[in-house]
Amino acid sequence: MASIEECRAALEQLSRNLAGSDGDVRKAAALDRSLTCHLTDLDLTFTGRLRDGRIADVTEAPGKPATKADIRLAMSGDDLVALVGGRLNFASAWAAGRVRLEAGFRDLLRLRTLL
């Protein structure tokens, strides 16, 4: 099972990946939205803000998200680390129910470029 530190590092890497992207990916990541990532196996939620093409102001708290963010992810810590590391395909993980993504319809349309 991935540790909290490994999951935080994965989110930081994802933020760097988004910041270094260009074209359609950069445009999709340029949203200004609240974001939560609930790690089901650790029962821990990372909360932050997708802003200017990166994930900013990341905090962590035990349990499920306290508030409903604009973009909500839920998965195991291992799956988060594997997704960011390129060892797990998002579409396959989502189709298999390993990853949940909830957002408004317009955000989902923009985020599909990231997936």
* CATH number, domain with residue 72: 3.30.1050.10
List beta partners, residue 37.
46, 73
Q: What percent of the chain has pLDDT over 90?
A: 69
Distance CA 51, CA 83 (A): 21
- Average predicted confidence (pLDDT) for the chain: 90
Interval 54-82 mean pLDDT: 96
Residue 62 CB: number of other CB atoms within 10 A? 8
- As a dihedral over the C-alpha atoms of residue 4, residue 48, residue 78, residue 76, rounded to 10 degrees, the angle is 100
Query: Is the pLDDT higher at 112 or at 43?
Result: 43
pLDDT of the residue at 19: 80
Amino acid in the structure at residue 12: E
Q: How many domains does one find in the chain?
A: 1
Domain residues for the domain of 49 are 4-111
